[in-house]
Structure 1
Amino acid sequence: MTNKKTSGQGAVTRRRMLALSAAGAGAGLAAPAVAQSTQPTIEWKMVTSWPKDLPGPGITAQRIADQIALMSSGRLRIRLFAAGELVPPLEVFDAVSSGTAQMGHSASFFWQGKIPASVFFTAVPFGLLPLEHITWVEQGGGQALWDELYAPFGVRPLMAGNTGVQMGGWFKKELTGLDDLKGLKIRMPGLGGEVMRRLGATPVSLPPGELFGALQSGLIDATEFLGPWSDTAMGFHKVAKFYYAPGFHEPNGTGEALFNTVAFEGLPDDLKAIVRDVCRAENARSLAESEWMNAGQLAALQQDHGVQIRIFPKDVLDALRSTSEDVVASVAQLDPLSARVVESFQQARARLAPWSRLSTRLYLDARDQ
């Protein structure tokens, strides 16, 4: 789609608001049993980038829909369409922007080709950890920049789930050094893919639902996705046995809820508050869930499936780190708003890093000796 302002940017008629807010009426909706309200029911569609009920983000998306219906006593009901059921998984943003769906659930780095700075709101290489990222968005001005970034498209974003620190990926062959990246076909979205490209690899863009087949067939030699819980559900361990850490490219796993601006602004204030609070609560819930499940699945992958955990060789990590600095800096050269996003992100990292080292790293070093 073109970078044009939608009707959400200016004055909109009440009829337009009601039409978008109530679109999809009469469809069967995924929602728990809720108390009946005498107020009109608003029915929305949510499109996602995830296979249905995928552990991690797929579960999060459904839970958000269910909780909004529950907390609103059925006044706002959301029917969830998993990846490909209504729109292709990488067209979620466009669907919300155009009003095909009032809401979406995805990850911001999928829109890198359209909005390069969007990647900063999921993760960037050697960037912020989950709590640091939440702190930047909620306390350090990140949300205002995110809103400004998406405003020309008539889309409102919110943090809506977090899969935590990611792993570095699944590799069919062991990496012995930097030369092994030459010609490596790897699925790695976001800025991490550009880092790999500059080091000689060939990044391949694929939606989540196509990853297992691509790895199995040899279309790709390696893939990253999330962490042990979601990755086990995807079946990567069946075709690749080397599982690398750290996830340099995604030290955080923020999922985003996308809202058509007209539809969101058409909600009464109490429903807007419910939507915001449900998304915020899901951040904490999903992050705790991912940490717990990842720990259990990591052990199962090693003990039951013969997966071998590997650390990236030092020369690879050194090259990844230095190249990442250049790639992140290059985004700031694209346009003034991207420069402000990069500056804000880097300022947050500089502010938070000394405290994270003192409060978290030193404690873990002492606890786990």
Structure 2
Amino acid sequence: MREAGHAREGAKPRCRLDKIGMKNAETANSAEQHFALQNSAAVAWSFYPSIAPFSRSCSAVVDTGRTTLLGLIKNIFCIAEFLSAAMSARRYNASPVKRGGQGGSPMTLMTTFKVAALAAAAVATAFVAAPAPADAQDTVRWRVQSHWPSASSSFSDSLERLKATLEARTDGRFVLQLHEAGALFPAREIFSAVSRGIIEMGTISPAYIRDRVSVAGIASGLPFAFRNTWEAAYFHKNLGFEEMIRTEAAEHGVFYATDKVYPTEMVVKAPIESLADFESLKIRSSGALQEFLTEAGAAATYLPGPELYPALATGVVDGAHWGAAQGAKSMGLYEVAKYHVQPALNIAGTDAFVISQDAIDALPEDLRDILLNALEEQFWFRTNEYTYKEQIALAAAIAEQDVQVARLPDEVTQHLAATATAAWDKEAEKSEMAAEALEKLKSFLADLGYIQR
């Protein structure tokens, strides 16, 4: 009669090793098993594929930030479960085995036990020899609130790229936990959340912080200033404008890094054929461009990214800008607005990373260097990539979605250029640093022959 207890029929094994032990005991009476037991080391290793996953689960405690030693101790307890299961299973299945007219050998249990011990040793050896995973306490995890919806091309091309770069260069020691637009904070509150240390990092448009950083209006793009992307990049990096933004952001405990510079171009539902057409438009905009378009006669209003498509589809607005062709295509705007307007309203560093300076200072030196180098590299990589992808996206929209490129009539362009000059001077009134930045910009544009001084 089989004994009651853990090994009774229908009982649930306490762990995966119990199942292996019971199987070993149940099959130990076969001639084939006795033959296999003669090479007990080989049998022990044959158990490893089944045991290894459980061994790893026992050592998963290492992944939760405890010590490797504690993980090893838990493995020892699991091994004890294995041995207990083997003995228990052997007891309830101990029917005689006829070998040459003899009864069941008392060595059968011992042999089974040896196999179990060897299997356990194999697990322990493999566990100790295998590279230990990085302690979770050594992994830096930052919460990142983005202003980009996950549908936006920049969420994947900029934010997910930076995440992958940091994880690859730190062997997984630096992990960004990404949250799309609105997940934790509205777009206009991201800078404050970073400044107060509620989250470590975010992405924003400088248009959202014009009340905190006086040069942010210039950073988000003065209308009709640059004509080519390289000019905006040169102004940011070679003429020192990026450092001016960082100086002001640092007063709020925030490190500022421009993601890329690129053009901002509108999409509209109907062609603009006259100044009257332009002045009748309801346009989704933001920051300095919103003020500029309003001054020029249109009705410009701000809407967060996730609300942009439905507003355009339902006629709440007649036109909008979200980057240029790449942004419009990724957000589905060409489905409801078939006219892509040129020239660009501006070319600027319209997207940026904002990072808690305290969080940067708390990083190990190697991670800090990797982060700062990755951000600098990101600017140049994404600026060039965006320029290339703009051409691809616009060509695809024309070919696949019947989008038309619509150039503004001369009377509209001249009206906008005159309005833009007044908008520039208005930004200079915000602070001495803003006045200095505008002077630097005008001098640069004069050198290029775009304006007269």
Q: TM > 0.5 between the two?
A: yes
Write the distance in 1 (CA, Å) between the matches of 2:416 and 2:196: 38
Cα offset, 1:58, TM superposition: 4.1
Residues 306-325 of structure 1 deviation map (CA, whole Å, 9 limit, x = unaligned): 22211011011111111111
Task: State the partner residue of 1:21.
Answer: none
Task: State the partner residue of 2:184.
Answer: 86
Secondary structure, aligned partner of 2:437:
helix
Cα offset, 1:214, TM superposition: 0.7
Write the distance in 1 (CA, Å) between the matches of 2:204 and 2:64: 25
- Answer 1 or 2: higher relative contact order, Cα 8 Å, separation at least 6: 1
Write the distance in 2 (CA, Å) between the matches of 1:80 and 1:37: 21
TM-score using structure 2 length: 0.66
Task: State the partner residue of 1:44.
Answer: 142
Write the distance in 1 (CA, Å) between the matches of 2:403 and 2:331: 14
Task: Please say which structure displays the higher CA radius of gyration.
Answer: 2
Q: Aligned ranges for residues 175-186 of structure 1 at < 5 Å?
A: 175-186=272-283
Q: Aligned ranges for residues 245-324 of structure 1 at < 5 Å?
A: 245-248=342-345, 250-324=346-420
Q: Aligned ranges for residues 329-348 of structure 1 at < 5 Å?
A: 329-348=425-444
CA contact (8 A) 2:292 2:419 kept: yes
Structure 2: any 5+ residue segments left out of the alignment?
A: 1-62, 66-131
2:221 is aligned with what amino acid? A
Cα offset, 1:190, TM superposition: 2.6
Note if 1:158 corresponds to 2:254: no
Task: State the partner residue of 2:232.
Answer: 133
Q: Which of 158, 168, 183 is equivalent to 1:60?
A: 158
Moved more, 124-133 or 88-97: 124-133
Task: State the partner residue of 2:51.
Answer: none
Write the distance in 2 (CA, Å) between the matches of 1:136 and 1:174: 33
Residues 81-104 of structure 1 deviation map (CA, whole Å, 9 limit, x = unaligned): 111111122322121111111111
CA contact (8 A) 1:37 1:73 kept: no
Cα offset, 1:53, TM superposition: 5.2
Write the distance in 1 (CA, Å) between the matches of 2:350 and 2:220: 5
Q: Which of 208, 213, 217 is equivalent to 1:115?
A: 213
CA contact (8 A) 2:339 2:403 kept: yes
Write the distance in 1 (CA, Å) between the matches of 2:257 and 2:393: 29
2:317 is aligned with what amino acid? I
Residues 98-144 of structure 1 deviation map (CA, whole Å, 9 limit, x = unaligned): 11111112221222244342132242212234322222222212132
Write the distance in 2 (CA, Å) between the matches of 1:269 and 1:149: 24
2:255 is aligned with what amino acid? R
Cα offset, 1:43, TM superposition: 1.6
CA contact (8 A) 1:166 1:246 kept: no
Residues 317-362 of structure 1 deviation map (CA, whole Å, 9 limit, x = unaligned): 11111111110111111222322222233333334x25x99xxxxx
Write the distance in 2 (CA, Å) between the matches of 1:275 and 1:53: 25
Q: Aligned ranges for residues 159-198 of structure 1 at < 5 Å?
A: 159-162=258-261, 164-167=262-265, 169-198=266-295
Task: State the partner residue of 1:201.
Answer: 298
CA contact (8 A) 1:53 1:62 kept: no
Cα offset, 1:147, TM superposition: 1.5
2:347 is aligned with what amino acid? P
Task: State the partner residue of 1:95.
Answer: 193
Task: State the partner residue of 2:48.
Answer: none
CA contact (8 A) 2:215 2:245 kept: no
Write the distance in 2 (CA, Å) between the matches of 1:214 and 1:53: 16
Write the distance in 2 (CA, Å) between the matches of 1:48 and 1:344: 31
Cα offset, 1:254, TM superposition: 4.5
Write the distance in 1 (CA, Å) between the matches of 2:358 and 2:312: 41
Q: Aligned ranges for residues 237-248 of structure 1 at < 5 Å?
A: 237-248=334-345
Write the distance in 2 (CA, Å) between the matches of 1:90 and 1:238: 27
C-alpha distance 265-341 of structure 1, shift in aligned 2 (>3 A) = farther
CA contact (8 A) 2:268 2:341 kept: yes
CA contact (8 A) 1:56 1:286 kept: no
1:206 is aligned with what amino acid? L
CA contact (8 A) 1:56 1:290 kept: no
CA contact (8 A) 2:329 2:393 kept: yes
Write the distance in 2 (CA, Å) between the matches of 1:156 and 1:80: 18
The alignment yields a C-alpha RMSD, in angstroms, of 2.5
Write the distance in 2 (CA, Å) between the matches of 1:149 and 1:61: 24
Write the distance in 2 (CA, Å) between the matches of 1:282 and 1:236: 27
CA contact (8 A) 1:52 1:83 kept: yes
Residues 20-72 of structure 1 deviation map (CA, whole Å, 9 limit, x = unaligned): xxxxx979xxxxxxx96678222211111001152134430111122112212
CA contact (8 A) 2:142 2:199 kept: yes
2:304 is aligned with what amino acid? P
Note if 1:148 corresponds to 2:247: yes
Q: Aligned ranges for residues 217-228 of structure 1 at < 5 Å?
A: 217-228=314-325
C-alpha distance 37-347 of structure 1, shift in aligned 2 (>3 A) = farther
Task: State the partner residue of 2:104.
Answer: none
